[in-house]
Amino acid sequence: MCGRWQCSFQLQPIEWMKGKVIGSGSFGNVHLAMDQATGSLFVAKSATSESGIFSLKNEANILENLDSPYIIKCIGKDFSLAKNGEKKHTLFLEYMAGGSLSDVAEKFGGTLDERVIHLYTREIVVGLRYLHQNGIVHSDLKCKNVLLGLSGNIKLADFGAAKKIYDGKKNVKTWMRSWDSCLGGTPLWMAPEVLRNEGLDFSSDIWSLGCTVIEMATGKPGWHIDRSNPMDEILKISRGDKVPHFPLGFSKEGIDFLEKCLQTDPRKRWTSQELLHHPFVDVRPGIVFSRKASDAFSPSSVLDVGSYDSYDSSDDECLEGSTPFPGRLKKMAARNVSEKDFQSSGDWITVRKR
């Protein structure tokens, strides 16, 4: 019997045209591509380095059994040898013309209106619930890794750092520390316990969700980092009991939602299932935020944004056999670290419409 992964690959392009490079990262390049049989557009994400190949393989393994309208779809893969004998791995992924939420916010003044954040957040939570029900932790949730369709639909993307911590057969608690010794993710969005290398759980994504909501509202990470010494600030986040700065002027429903996500004790964070019933993301008729009537409103969808926007994986890339994140913090502290070291991770990179 054919599984979903194999069946979905029957739809992968057999003859396809590679367009211009629309993005690049430490792992390789991303091309806009066209299926010559149908004329449809998709994204070809390729890697030749060992670290890039490892990340693409992990993304393929994670996506192979997933089927949700809130998760980016992988339509195929091509793992082959180049003419010079070099290994080349390519993933074929659906093209989301709206781009990332980070890019969308930039095009609309740097931030999003709370009513739009409410719509987007609900779909992100639905996507997280689906992942968690399937035993998967995304590990790198942020605006750069949330993509928007032209109709305003949201999809989670960039699963290069994702982990499957539960397969339905083993108790999740016994799997919390079973992930390999490396950690992916972006420090300013990572839960404190993950920064301390204490374990990975579904609640780690909930912390990142709170940080992502703050990012949508402010256009910046929730932490105000001292650019002169970012390493020291990151260490304080991992060891302290503080939470990111909440957006000014946010509704009481929005503040309460953030408080449910940004608990330093992971056991106190709400689950994705619980958050779906929170008033901040409730879509029932009559739900109104306690906001000023004069507050501005932004569109709930974006037409012809035409760009992806995500980070390259130069510093936070997940490598086989690499040291856990605390060890990498020490290494990075030994050199001259800039703020960009803490705002770059994952595989999805900047994609610009040409």
pLDDT of residue 191: 94
Record the pTM: 0.78
CB-based contacts of 160, cutoff 8 Å, min separation 6: 27, 55, 56, 58, 59, 140, 184, 313, 317, 318, 346, 347
pLDDT over 90 (residue 131)? yes
Whether the per-residue pLDDT at 251 is higher than 90: the answer is yes
What is the mean pLDDT of the segment spanning 215-240?
85
- Which amino acid is present at 194? V
- pLDDT computed for residue 289 by the predictor: 54
Mean pLDDT calculated for residue range 115-131: 97
Question: How far apart (Å, rounded) are the C-alpha atoms in residues 29 and 23?
Answer: 6
Length of the chain: 354
Tokens of 338: 């800039």
Three-state SS at 75? strand
Helix (H, G, I), strand (E, B) or coil at 135: coil
Q: Please say if the pLDDT value at position 140 is more than 50.
A: yes
Residue 47 has pLDDT above 60, yes or no: yes
Q: Cβ contacts of residue 76 below 8 Å, gap of 6+? A: 8, 9, 11, 12, 13, 91, 92
Q: Give me the mean pLDDT over the 119-137 stretch.
A: 97
Tokens at 257, concatenated: 């939602």
The one catalytic residue in 35, 103, 140, 309 is 140
pLDDT reported for residue 287: 54
- State which H helix or E strand residue 332 sits in: helix 325-333
Residue 300 pLDDT: 35
Per-residue pLDDT, 351 = 31
DSSP 286: T
Q: What is the mean pLDDT of residues 113-133?
A: 97
SS3 102: helix
pLDDT given for residue 136 in this prediction = 97
The more confidently predicted of residues 18 and 308 is 18
Q: DSSP secondary-structure letter at 279?
A: T
| The pLDDT of residue 16 | 86
Q: CATH says 4-96 is which class?
A: alpha beta
What is the percentage of the chain residues whose pLDDT exceeds 90?
43
Q: What is the pLDDT of residue 342?
A: 44
140 is catalytic: yes
pLDDT score of 228: 75
Mean pLDDT calculated for residue range 73-96: 83
Q: For position 170, what pLDDT does the model report?
A: 55
Averaged pLDDT, 199-213: 96
pLDDT tier for residue 290 given thresholds of 50, 70 and 90: low
Please, where in the chain does CATH 3.30.200.20 lie?
Answer: 4-96
Most trustworthy range by pLDDT among 241-245, 308-312, 321-325: 241-245
Give the per-residue pLDDT at 26: 57
Distance linking the first and last C-alpha atoms of the chain:
42
CATH of 97-354, one of 3.40.50.720, 1.10.510.10, 2.40.50.100, 1.10.150.120: 1.10.510.10
Q: Are 152 and 305 in contact (CB under 8 A)?
A: no
**Model confidence over 49-62: pLDDT tens digits?**
888 888 889 999 99
Look at the alpha carbons of 200, 57, 208, 171 in this order and tell me if their dihedral is positive or negative: negative
| 241-277 exposure pattern, b = at least 16 Cβ within 10 A, e = fewer | eebbebbeebbebbeebbebbbbeebeebbebeebbe
State the residue for tokens 């008033």: 279
Mean pLDDT of the chain: 77
**Residue 158, pLDDT above cutoff 60:** yes
CB neighbour list of residue 25: distance below 8 Å, 6 or more residues apart: 52, 311, 312, 313, 314, 347, 349
5-41: per-residue pLDDT in tens? 333 444 566 788 888 887 666 567 888 899 888 899 9
Q: What percent of the chain has pLDDT over 70?
A: 69
Query: Identity (one letter) of the amino acid at 106?
Result: E
CA dist 314 and 323 (Å) reads: 15
Name the helix (H) or strand (E) containing 156: strand 154-156
Residues 6+ apart with CB under 8 A from 122: 276, 281, 283
| CATH 1.10.510.10 residue window(s) in the chain | 97-354
34 forms bridges with which residues in the sheet? 17, 41
Q: What is the pLDDT of residue 153?
A: 95
128 to 158, 162, 202, 286, 345: CA distances (angstroms):
13, 12, 9, 25, 19
